[in-house]
């Protein structure tokens, strides 16, 4: 299954609590909670480029499945991670105590990030 496409955020759960736990300032959390971000995914075999645009902020991450890559977190910090694909529609990575699972089901992209007992979930639709 190809992840290629643009996806617009439809809903999210636990955004504020998760961002606070990551250490983002309250002002940034309040600004970001109501903005509909757009994620663009370009997949070329095992290579991925993901660009997330939230208002004027743009985060770009590139990685190759199974290889250590530098990933930019929501805080802007860059960390090393290995992204694996499970099946043909699930991307899994663990970095800085966070487990990120992204599942593509038809035109719905669901990203769940878990840190300890805190879970943040984002649901986006292909546009």
Chain segment 57-99, per-residue pLDDT in tens: 888 899 999 999 998 887 778 899 999 999 999 999 999 899 9
CATH number assigned to the domain comprising residue 28: 2.40.128.20
Q: What is the mean pLDDT of the chain?
A: 92
Domain range for 26 is 5-126
Long-range pairs for 116-121: beta carbons < 8 A, 24 or more residues apart: 116/21, 118/14, 118/17, 118/18, 118/21, 119/13, 119/14, 119/18, 120/12, 120/13, 120/14, 120/15, 120/17, 120/18, 120/19, 121/12, 121/13, 121/14
The structure's pTM equals 0.90
Confidence check: pLDDT of 53 > 70: yes
The count of domains in the chain is 1
């Amino acid at each position: 299954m190809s992840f290629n496409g643009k996806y617009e955020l439809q809903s999210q759960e636990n955004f504020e609590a998760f961002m606070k736990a990551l250490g983002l300032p309250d002002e940034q959390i309040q600004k970001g909670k109501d903005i509909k971000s757009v994620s663009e995914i370009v997949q070329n075999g095992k290579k991925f480029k993901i660009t997330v645009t939230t208002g004027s902020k743009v985060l770009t991450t590139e990685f190759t499945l199974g290889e250590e890559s530098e990933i930019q977190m929501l805080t802007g910090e860059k960390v090393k991670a290995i992204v694996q694909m499970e099946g043909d529609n699930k991307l899994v990575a663990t970095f800085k105590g966070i487990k990120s699972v992204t599942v593509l089901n038809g035109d719905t992209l669901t990203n769940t990030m878990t840190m300890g007992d805190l879970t943040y979930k984002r649901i986006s639709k292909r546009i």
